[in-house]
A and B are shown apart, each in its own frame.
Chain A
């Protein structure tokens, strides 16, 4: 496999030299190349099937505290120089960013070896292999139960390469592969339609647990018949790993980003250092942890990542910083700059929650009146300053009473604050064999979780 490290550095140098030539006091450039493919299933056939090749070029130039930037998807030298010229043009008329002090200085990196991040088998995956996996998924799901009606989902893989350079000497190259299967299996018995879900993420496409995922999703769908409504109110809740992962994403995005804190949005404002969660809760971000499928040793401005303790024994510990937010607070960056969807902000994206010794069966046995939840749909912040989020159960939820699963439940809505429902945790389980989410999170049982509605109210 030939990587494009030399090409990326060469093109980045074209950008940097042009920025210097045009008088920029500082400049940061990033070029990313990606080759991805995704096979989408619906109604137990391949419904959509795509391959994409992208080249994303980002140029940020400073004239003192004035800033301009361009993002282009063109890679020839003339276009790259034009992208720099455009960035310079707008920087010169830009107001100052008084919070800006400097881009990161030259860094040294604790590099993760390329062969740990890149799988040749993923790079060499073909449309035919994806079709083979799709057929395996479809057949495996239908074999579980005759009521399985449709297999939907996606099987995908990709190779991502990037180089980030700046005029102060930052120079870093990274490459990684990734692959995913996520399936929603629909079942029908003539009276009702049920759904089950499962997912797996791997670095090596050929290691995706296609059959296990398909069977697990189909089993959940088959176990979903006889759904009933329950009243709104507070229940015990058993959250499977994907449900925990969904909550953790929102917690991290709205709570632990220094930008959200500085913008008065974070629910952790004036709470750092306080014990506000159950002492069993430990949450951290670590791009080096080998248990994570998606890892990395630098952030989106080329700053080295470091392990970030976010919650330790229930105490809110640290915010995630990038250079700009760190300079504003007079601290060091933690290496968590993320540039996505037009924003540049600190975001902890390599999350882990400490596992416990329990498992789902024990949690069910310990539940008097609660709900077992597969995962959540359409979560959103209702009031991020209070940590209040909402979302809906999806692809399998069951009522648990006196230590036993009673019956499946129709879609439920929760509306509650993380500051309340994570204040007490009954049990934490072990990690799943599947990489259900990009975070490494265990299942957990909470004593109180607020259900605020259902599909009938």
Chain B
């Protein structure tokens, strides 16, 4: 994408300002990119750790439910389901990391009414319910962290594209156009100087 400009001093001044602005923008965006990546990497490690933990715990807990279902009748589980009620109060907020806003949720309260018969249901069921309840805040934290990571990743990608566009397209194009105008102006100046010298020579030859 070449920049087409009229080779005059006004354009040259305009291009000089534009180049200065582009270089300043490039420097700032590069700093921002470094900052974003610096924030991003520890969060990725934290996400991996939490995700790994949850990926171990969820299948194990759900396995306990399956065990409970196997050791008791289907009707009993259905009855327990009907008698189970719960209410999770989740507080929603936002947090900002390097100018990126992401959702943040926190489990404020959780009331569970395990109204099913403790005697008629297997022990695995109570254990599974207790374990799953313990997982709920972790699920919320992981969801918030994943949201933040995705948003940061999007911002990093966007910033990197801008940095690259400035570095490899805008700044070289403006510099080329600036050099072209400077070359043309120099040429025009040389031309007018030669013309003046010729005129002077001609005047001297005529004895004027």
Is this pair of chains taken from one and the same complex?
no
Seen from chain A, the residues whose Cβ lies within 8 Å of a Cβ on chain B are none
Binding site for A on B (CB under 8 A): none
